[in-house]
Structure 1
């Protein structure tokens, strides 16, 4: 390591001391974030505050990294709801971060079916319904794909503009529901766009030039086609 950092030739005592400080800081940093990862996995709120007392700026690091797994991602994946809410209260910006796979904490909570946590996120920041992850897929798109009608309704009421969000394939949540053959989810979305006078969304085309009704017809979804009449 010394050769890599300073070259193979002999260095002065001051250079050696500098190198040792760099190495010590690197190992200390790794240990700190390993401890933070462990308290997130365990949902250990007391442990979180002990770390903050030792290292008051420990959460600031994540603001300076574009894509990373934050302790909020870890808590979301593990279903540590109370820890996640405490952490989000301390550092709201963590909820906006994508990990290296392109997922936010909200996406991970949905993927792992931690619905209580999803609702907690929603209560703290309704705009998270529209956070764009991998493929520009939002939590609303994901719930439309799953066909969770109750959560879909909650998302729409919390963040009405989310119905306009498009994936990289130019799909609305309505497109996603129809392609996933989630008829009840489609009915919720249809009722919503009618309620807010945005029925023109039904005529929006995906990247292949298909509206939701073109897709429904091609998949022989007669119920979907009939619902619009």
Structure 2
């Protein structure tokens, strides 16, 4: 087995400490470091997010937007991580704008970013994600189920989140109607 599969690179250290300029220079010189996982299963971007270094995060993803899709421990991407917190709706919007395909990424438990937002009771993130889905006509994301066979709406209902249920139900109707209209043309 490859002993160097999980390593702590200088980029992990710089991103974790919020040393933005140093982290950017390392990423420019050694782009592969951005996708490496440390022994805890975290990428440099995961560490910057975990330590609330949003400027470092913004600059790293501006240099390489695919860092948003790096799967860490349990398949969690930085988008999933951001969707779990109510205070990072700006980052969530930025991530979706820079890497729209990340909306389709699922964890090892088959959870989307929307599943993560609902399970974390992050209503702001639910609103941002639904707004993005509405703008991009990606209604199929609402129908995806996790390993337990639950859609996002099932999860919101089972965890007694009436506002999330309202947003999901009425938001999904709008998205599905638009999907059908577009498909019929």
TM above 0.5, yes or no, is yes
In the TM superposition, what are the counterparts of 1:144-155 in structure 2 within 5 Å? 144-147=83-86, 148-155=88-95
Q: Unmatched 5+ residue regions in structure 1? A: 1-63
- Measure, in 2, the Cα distance between the counterparts of 1:134 and 1:151: 21
- Measure, in 1, the Cα distance between the counterparts of 2:6 and 2:115: 29
- Measure, in 2, the Cα distance between the counterparts of 1:180 and 1:101: 22
In the TM superposition, what are the counterparts of 1:80-99 in structure 2 within 5 Å? 80-99=19-38
Match of 1:132 among 31, 46, 71: 71
Alignment correspondent of 1:221: 161
Alignment correspondent of 1:142: 81
Hey, which bits of structure 1, 4+ residues long, moved more than 4 A? none
- Measure, in 1, the Cα distance between the counterparts of 2:43 and 2:8: 9
- Measure, in 1, the Cα distance between the counterparts of 2:34 and 2:165: 38
Q: Cα RMSD over matched residues?
A: 1.1
- Measure, in 1, the Cα distance between the counterparts of 2:70 and 2:124: 24
**Aligned length, in residue pairs:** 166
* 1:108 lines up with 2:53 in the alignment: no
Alignment correspondent of 2:143: 203
- Measure, in 2, the Cα distance between the counterparts of 1:84 and 1:134: 22
Q: Unmatched 5+ residue regions in structure 2? A: 171-185
Q: Which has the larger radius of gyration?
A: 1
> What's the TM-score once normalised by structure 1's chain length?
0.71
> What's the TM-score once normalised by structure 2's chain length?
0.87
> Which protein, 1 or 2, shows the higher relative CO under an 8 Å CA cutoff with sep ≥ 6?
2
Alignment correspondent of 2:132: 192
How far residue 65 of structure 1 moved from its aligned partner, in angstroms, is 2.9
Q: Deviations over 1:106-156 (max 9, x none)?
A: 000000001000001111000111110000000000000012111000000
Q: Deviations over 1:151-200 (max 9, x none)?
A: 00000000001010000111000000000000110011011112111112
